[in-house]
Amino acid sequence: MAESSGARRMVVLVDQQGRLLAAHHLGEPDGEYVAGLGTLPGQRLHEVEVPRELAQADDLQVLHALAGFRLGEAGVLVEREG
């Protein structure tokens, strides 16, 4: 799950409706701690490409912005309606 195309990628945790519950930046470990995401019943993990408009944002900006997205049918992030 490493960055291969140069695009920024993350792992997202979604519920049954595709709403993002959590996100985890993919990258090389930079310390002694390793973290990850786990699922509960009805939740799924997906590796996704960060939307182009967020490609240059820092990690905190990306996490805040992702609250306005959901996982679409094609497994890509799409902006939430309403």
Find out whether 23 and 66 touch, Cβ atoms under 8 Å: yes
Report the candidate in 9, 30, 26, 23 with the shortest Cα–Cα distance to residue 63: 23
Q: Residue written as tokens 């240059």?
A: 56
At 26-63, the pLDDT tens digits run 777 777 777 778 899 999 999 988 888 887 888 788 88
Q: Looking at residue 6, what is its pLDDT?
A: 62
Report the candidate in 13, 22, 18 with the shortest Cα–Cα distance to residue 46: 13
